[in-house]
Structure 1
Amino acid sequence: MTSSPVTAPPAAEMLTGAPDTGTVFDAALAGRSHRLVRHDGVVLPLAVQRWHDDADAEDDWLLDRCAGPTLDLGCGPGRLVVALADRGVPALGVDVSVQAVQRCLERGAAVLHRDAFERLPGEGRWQHVVLADGNIGIGGDPVTLLRRCRALLAEGGTVLLELEPDAGLWCGVAYLECLDEPVLDTIGDAPWFPWAVLGPHAVDEVAAEAGLTVVARDEGARAFVELAPA
């Protein structure tokens, strides 16, 4: 879905004054309807209900490939962490959102309230790192994020990544628009934050720049790849 381009703040301002992304997503995780609006006017719906639901058959491609200790970055309410634990796979969720962490705890998911780029338990010993539900956007730089994921992996480990179907690479700034409130000066009031989108058309190049290579892929209604160190 697209709309007219909106005016984003200068990039330099975003680098020095970006808000806490966890706080930005708290309202959406609390159940209010939101969509993500990029500075180029492209609108991306947020699958908030899926985040809160139990994992289903659409998640199986990711879950089936988690054969050892798994770290879910940007885990949200923890559906994948719970599903892996139910399968007997050790899993830990990581999220900066207080709402996400609270809901993980409520459903019994192991979770850590921390930024993905801060020091994490077991660095270099995780068999799998998961980036689902658009979380390749975290930080606005997929190459840097994937390099971070690579550093978290044990020898022979992989990154399991969900992509935006039929997309390439986009990096910039975005804001969350609340659909449960009257449209006011949304563009002026909502905080902008760095974000990125990565799809099948660009994942091979981005992965290679991060020192990874695509070893498996699935492109349906949702698109996934598995990446291993090159």
Structure 2
Amino acid sequence: MTQTSPRLAPTELGAVFDAALAGHSQRLVRGDGVVLPLAVQRWHDDADGDDGWLLERCTGATLDLGCGPGRLVVALADRGVPALGVDVSVQAVERCLERGAAVLHRDAFERLPGEGRWDHVVLADGNIGIGGDPVALLRRCRALLAPGGTILLELEPGAGLWCGAAYLESAGDDALALLDTDGPWFPWAVLGPHAVDEVAVEAGLVVRERAEGTRSFVALTPA
């Protein structure tokens, strides 16, 4: 596939991820050739112990950007924590509504309710990649926070910082593989523990807490 302009409208980007959320086996292919699997089953499942680090730190009103099918929003609501999901994917929004999760079909950079009043903003499941510029996205998240709020961010274990273009590719060997199922290029980014401190500083944030293991997380606050 030849890389073309990565800029997509929010609705177009939502359609790209609809295919994965609809159940197709897919993976994300970066412009540098690195292939990353998409944890589609985890997105659809209920929150589990691996999500505990995030859930335990959401003690007040929480905004989940790129919420997918809403497992974290549902889990927080079950705990009595006010939570709202935001996603550009129609499939994600429909699934959230089926599960009873509060959700908006909207881009993370569009006007959102409660700007400057959220206790926590969550970027899980690789969603630091949204827009292809982690500094810009974290600055956006910082603007959404109430004083004393935190950004709870999932990182790519063992990684540094990569920014560029990517596309979704069918990873199956069934009938889908006979079709041209590779999606259009779009801006994306990957951020890991080796670069998060520098990126946080550039966004006006500081790492206050971190956890590394099979999944890696940090809690960020305004500097």
Provide the TM-score with structure 1 as the length reference. 0.92
1:197 matched to 2:190? The reply is: yes
Change (3 A) 1:18 1:131: closer
RMSD: 1.6
Measure the CA separation in 1 of the matches of 2:200 and 2:126: 16
Question: Quick check: 2:63–2:122 contact (8 Å CA) kept in 1?
Answer: yes
Measure the CA separation in 2 of the matches of 1:19 and 1:108: 23
Question: Quick check: 1:19–1:191 contact (8 Å CA) kept in 2?
Answer: no
Equivalent residue number for residue 177 of structure 2: 182
Question: Quick check: 1:125–1:154 contact (8 Å CA) kept in 2?
Answer: yes
Change (3 A) 1:206 1:85: same
Shift of 1:7: 4.3
- 1:8 is matched by which residue type in structure 2? Q
Secondary structure of 1:100's partner?
helix
Equivalent positions of 1:159-178 (< 5 A) are 159-178=151-170
Question: Quick check: 2:8–2:186 contact (8 Å CA) kept in 1?
Answer: no
Shift of 1:24: 0.3
Shift of 1:190: 2.6
Write out per-residue CA displacement over residues 25-61 of structure 1, whole angstroms, 9 at most, x where no aligned residue: 0010011110000011100000000000000000000
Number of residue equivalences: 220
Equivalent residue number for residue 3 of structure 2: 8
1:87 matched to 2:71? The reply is: no
Shift of 1:183: 5.2
Measure the CA separation in 1 of the matches of 2:78 and 2:29: 35
Measure the CA separation in 2 of the matches of 1:185 and 1:76: 24
Equivalent residue number for residue 222 of structure 1: 215
Change (3 A) 1:56 1:18: closer
Shift of 1:136: 0.2
Equivalent residue number for residue 66 of structure 1: 58
Query: What runs of 5+ residues in structure 2 fail to find an aligned partner?
Result: none
Query: What runs of 5+ residues in structure 1 fail to find an aligned partner?
Result: 1-5
Equivalent residue number for residue 21 of structure 2: 29
Equivalent of residue 143 in structure 2, options 145, 151, 160 = 151
| Sequence identity percentage | 80
